[in-house]
Structure 1
């Protein structure tokens, strides 16, 4: 499988938000309640926020045959604020390569550590890439509580 990586553009927005919504509704379903999934996936509807992310953050997409199959974005130079891989492309190196690109970018930005808040579902992936758990936490989104983890890795 040939995967290409490039910076996201505003034209990518429909595919990006579809992957965000669909991944949460399928992949994360096993670790979160129906209500949590509904609230979390509704974040795809805030198009203004997604446009800001694409314009202001280091935001990349992974493509296979011109179809976006994953994306990730970096905030503050060393914080992975989001990483999602299409449900049909899980466990096919897309996420690992996105992660390596984010780590390289954080290093280029002069940081010694990279961090992220990750879901219960994503924790095993980050653990397999040598990330340590800084702490388990509860976050609130639209009034709904979510358990997740702050993870980090020294670069």
Structure 2
């Protein structure tokens, strides 16, 4: 059975390793090998530690195996990350992680969520109710620029 729980600092290396596998395997259909190399080799941003400490990250585990994780910046309503182990796609893990971020956002009284979606993940976010507002270059912390979609979602029952 899949368990969803808050991430802790000790989880960060596992989260980053999953993210790196996901970038290498799932983003290659939309980005060049050079971009994938730089993107996947980048170091864990300091913000991950801050967001995990602030209880903004949730992970999915089954039999002590990390299946996915998601992070919401509770200061501004930005979905910072959702990554699912590539061989676990199709099990609804990403949907459950997003629902947990939405619940966090409601607690924080956000009326909308926003994110920068990689091109390969846009269909997932659309299925979750996000609308693409524009395509733009995302300045990745590694120094590369990645084509992305800026997307938003109004939270049900939260619009004023």
> TM-score by structure 2 length?
0.89
Contact 1:57 1:74 in 2 (8 A): no
Residue 36 of structure 1 and its aligned partner are, at CA, apart by 0.7
Contact 2:7 2:55 in 1 (8 A): no
Pairing 1:66–2:64 present: yes
Contact 2:71 2:82 in 1 (8 A): yes
Q: Which residue of 2 aligns with 1:83?
A: 82
Q: Which residue of 2 aligns with 1:144?
A: 144
Q: Which residue of 1 aligns with 2:109?
A: 110
- Could you tell me which runs of 5 or more consecutive residues in structure 1 were left unpaired when the two chains were aligned: none
Count of matched residue pairs: 153
Q: Which residue of 2 aligns with 1:32?
A: 31
> Partners of 2:41 and 2:88 in 1: how far apart?
22
> Partners of 1:130 and 1:46 in 2: how far apart?
29
Pairing 1:51–2:49 present: yes
> Partners of 2:99 and 2:25 in 1: how far apart?
25
Contact 1:77 1:106 in 2 (8 A): no
- Could you tell me which runs of 5 or more consecutive residues in structure 2 were left unpaired when the two chains were aligned: 156-160
Residue 123 of structure 1 and its aligned partner are, at CA, apart by 0.1
1:24-61 deviation digits (Å, cap 9, x = unpaired): 00011111101111111123x33644323322351111
Residue 91 of structure 1 and its aligned partner are, at CA, apart by 1.5
Contact 1:113 1:153 in 2 (8 A): yes
> Partners of 1:46 and 1:101 in 2: how far apart?
23
Residue 3 of structure 1 and its aligned partner are, at CA, apart by 1.2
4+ runs deviating over 6 angstroms = none
SS at structure 1 position matched to 2:91: coil
> Partners of 2:47 and 2:98 in 1: how far apart?
22
1:99-122 deviation digits (Å, cap 9, x = unpaired): 011111111110111111110010
> Partners of 1:108 and 1:124 in 2: how far apart?
26
SS at structure 1 position matched to 2:28: helix
